[in-house]
Amino acid sequence: MPAPHNALKAALAAKDVQLGLWMNLVSPIAAEALSGAGFDWLLIDGEHGPNDIPTILAQLQAIGARTSVVVRPPVGEVRIIKQLLDLGAQTILVPMVESADHAAQMVKAMHYPPKGMRGVGASVARASDYGRIADYIATANDQTCLILQIESRAGLAALPEILKLDGIDGIFIGPADLAADLGYPGNADAPEVQATIDATLASIMASGKSAGILTFDAKTAQRYRAMGVTFLGIGGDVALLVKAATDAVKQVKAG
């Protein structure tokens, strides 16, 4: 029996648009509920959400196979990626990548030797159904999916070399951090920022890799989709909850 098929990896390779949602509530119940909402993927955020290994595991278990799951660790470190892969996460989004060397290290972290440096402990890991998937180690490399996040001027400068590397499924633009680093903190909609984002997305797609970005605006999402962006975040659980709650109060008070 081989490692589980990674539907998100296959869809990105085929350039099929995959719509997803950011999750920062650290709630297995919210994760389970959202997994049936129709998103192609849900992202468990360990960078800006107060997640750790146990809470990420709980959400992976709650979601199961209902939709694809992406996990973003707080930093791009080999030790963290090893733990996340052993939990059963197959798609990892690494934040704040600023060099080709770091990108290459992340590629190695995603794969077992001799291709990479992933530690071999599958017999006790959820990823292999605790050793029940007999061919897991032989087949896991083909199902891991690596997306790197570019969100600084240093990352933009390193991008041409990063795009030459094999083993990277997609490049994700972090608009908020990029805007701040470009001198427009809190204003990712600034024309100068959007021009940089558009040019960067175009270069990613021209390389043959999938391009990704997050937006909370439906019209902007439609524009990115028309451009050819295939890994497209279209909202977040916290923002949806706050907006729905605020709107509910306003509607009743207005009546």
Active-site annotation, residues: 48
> What is the rounded distance in angstroms from the CA atom of residue 142 to the CA atom of residue 66?
21
Minimal CA–CA distance to 85: which of 50, 120, 127, 22?
A: 127
Task: Name residue 213's beta-bridge partners.
Answer: 173, 232
Asked if residues 146 and 166 have their Cβ atoms less than 8 Å apart, the reply is no
Name the percent of the chain in helix, strand, coil, to the closest 5.
45, 15, 35
Minimal CA–CA distance to 28: which of 41, 47, 42?
A: 42
Minimal CA–CA distance to 92: which of 231, 195, 193?
A: 231
| Type of residue at 56 | I
Alpha helix (H) ranges present in the chain?
7-13, 28-34, 53-63, 78-87, 100-109, 136-139, 153-162, 175-181, 191-206, 218-227, 237-254
Task: List the structure tokens of 228.
Answer: 């050819």
How many CA atoms lie less than 13 Å away from 110 in the CB half-sphere? 26
